[in-house]
Structure 1
């Protein structure tokens, strides 16, 4: 995710939430679209921030699904770039 389309700068951070994965854990997700009063489409963030940008781990990163807004908790800002360590 280090390069954005059409020469725009890449996003440096994203607002994320935790939501149950229904697999015994949770997903870190961001809201992609509001569908109805309480329904949202979310994108899973699975990977890590690097100095070059987001390093996606292919198992779940980018997966989207619909959930209830009430299922989202622990709102926070997640960096997509890591400060380069010298």
Structure 2
């Protein structure tokens, strides 16, 4: 299936596609293509269903705080790797 944009850059999807995938999409840009990822009407519920009972009993705030802590650890680890790489290149 192919679609074209109108003069304003809008894409029009058939009613069948909208019924199947919804009306909201996240656009992912790659070097050679774009991808439309459907956004569930209730994203948190979709995640809970996909993850099963992995997040059972955790509030949105608890999940958010846990994600922040993990992101901070990941950022610090990346910073440390970059710092070591610079130090190694100076030797």
Same-fold call, TM > 0.5? no
Greater Rg by CA:
2
Q: Of Structure 1 and Structure 2, which has the larger fraction of its residues in strand?
A: 1
TM-score (norm 2): 0.25
Q: Of Structure 1 and Structure 2, which has the larger fraction of its residues in helix?
A: 2
